[in-house]
Amino acid sequence: MKIRNFVSLEWKQFSRSSYFQKGLAIKILLAFGALYFLAMAIFLGIGVVFGLEEAFPEKDPFKVLNNYLIYYVLGDLAFRYFLQQLPVMNIKPLLILPIKRSAVVRFLLFKTNLSFFNILPMFFFVPIAGVLLFKSYDVIGTLVWLLSFICIGFSINYANFLINKTKVYFFIILGLVATLLALNFYGIIDIASYFGTAFYAIYTDLYWILIPMILLYLLFKINYNFIFKQFYIDGAIVEKASDVKSYNLSFLDRFGKLSIFLKNDVKMILRNARPKQVLLTSFFFLFYGLIFYTQDMYSEIPVILAFASMFITGGFLLTFGQLVPSWDSEYYKLMMSQNIPYRQYLESKLYLMIFATLISTILSLPYLYFGWDIYAMILAGGLFNIGLNTFITLYGGALNRVPVELNQKAKAFSNTNGFSPAQLLISLPKIFGPMLLFYIPYKLISFDAGLIVLGLSGVVGLLLKNVFLNKIEKVYQKGKYKTIAAFDEKK
């Protein structure tokens, strides 16, 4: 079976699905984002050599660049691990047809090469090579150096495939990276200088290109053999049995009738792949402030700090909360057929988001290091999230009718399963609301006035809790059957 046949099958599967129009709209939005990053990569690729030449006038900018490329390699590996979506293919129908397994495995690995994460580095390194040729560097050496980093990029791609599929390779690669960083930290070796010399040697001594080429071949073969050994019908359709874990969640009984919903949500998060990934994502939001609070330029723009404070405490709300009620899509019809008040369902989601925001606020205590003003802003942002953003998020859920597959093994950062264009619109007041509430009194009165207004907005929201929930409940009730019908559609 030729590659074009596989490509034809993939296209038919995508274009004939009931999810085609929604999936196409999402892919168009992602395409614009991809074009932006490609343009930025070209800009950086063209400017990096000139920038290093200006920063280090007494040194060869190409040598300086090679010294920093090891950090690019390590960063690319970490970046792909968290963001790169591995390709999937419906192989069950192919297993009963007279098609060579080797052909299917090769095509699956070929799909990984078409990833945006493999294309993006080329838009960075090709302009660098163009600038080097413009500056009269050796033509053959530059092209061989470029080819070596293309091989390294594809090697990172196959390494990422392995560490996502097996824990053994994950710990092997993690151990190697940790060892390198430890050796560098304790001054045993300077990895920047060591690898910089090795990368520059590819330019001066062309035979060193064999190392990245052999590495690429070995990683491809390891991936090929790993997939091929498991490529049989029993391995594809029989899932390995595992022990069922039980959780003692009796502490939630204090919430009365809401405890049933809260226990279900906690169990869902602990037992399923997608919610676990989203929970991990929300934890990384706690470090969002390090981007802004460590830069002097942002201290002069307090409205940007208000934006950051909302993100620090609102990680769970912005990741898990925006997919309400999609988390329950697989059993939503059954749940709606029961004698369950919608109000209790919505209140349980509200309390879950409030509790998570309170935990994030407590965990953000280390930001006191940057001063009381910074932490006061985080507290004000937390109150806004609790008192207003939770209700805005719940209201947005009424417009979100895209199902979520709980055990879909996809990257939480890049997974668009459950994504709806309505989320983009409903996110605007969540992002710009705290900025406006802080900025207007800050500009007219003082910094403290901005903090007070931002914090009081959350308190007012809590006082109007019943009013907001009544309005939101009516919206959910009105679109109940449309939501059930939408959740019945499978991607």
Half-sphere exposure of 111 (CA within 13 A, CB side): 18
Instruction: State pLDDT tens for residues 1-26.
Output: 566 666 666 666 656 655 555 555 55
Residue 481 to residues 323, 332, 475, 477, 478, Cα–Cα distance (Å): 18, 11, 12, 8, 8
Residue 124 is predicted with a pLDDT of: 92
User: Position 120: which residue type?
Assistant: L
- How far is it, in rounded angstroms, from Cα 197 to Cα 213? 18
Residue 415: is its pLDDT beyond 50?
no
Pair 315, 225: CB distance under 8 Å: no
Tell me which residue of 84, 226, 208, 209 sits closest to 156, measured CA to CA: 84
Residue 421: is its pLDDT beyond 80?
no
Q: CA-CA-CA-CA torsion for 472, 475, 479, 481, nearest 10 degrees?
A: 60
* Whole-angstrom Cα Rg for the chain: 26
Instruction: State pLDDT tens for residues 77-122.
Output: 888 877 776 665 556 666 666 677 777 788 778 877 878 888 889 9
- How far is it, in rounded angstroms, from Cα 328 to Cα 479? 15
- How far is it, in rounded angstroms, from Cα 160 to Cα 77? 7
Long-range contacts of 234-240 (CB under 8 A, 24+ apart): 236/91, 236/92, 236/95, 237/92
Q: Tell me the pLDDT of the chain averaged across its residues.
A: 81
Region of 86 please: left (phi>0), alpha (psi -120 to 50) or beta: beta
Between 444 and 23, the more confident residue is 444
SS3 sequence, 271-339? Answer: HCHHHHHHHHHHHHHHHCHHHHHCCHHHHCCHHHHHHHHHHHHCHHHHHCHHHCCHHHHHHHHHHHCCC
Instruction: State pLDDT tens for residues 43-67.
Output: 999 999 899 888 888 889 999 999 9
Residue 265 is predicted with a pLDDT of: 84
- How far is it, in rounded angstroms, from Cα 199 to Cα 201? 5
Instruction: State pLDDT tens for residues 301-352.
Output: 778 888 888 889 888 888 888 888 888 888 888 888 877 788 888 888 899 9
Residue identified by tokens 């309390």 is 351
Average pLDDT over residues 274-298: 79
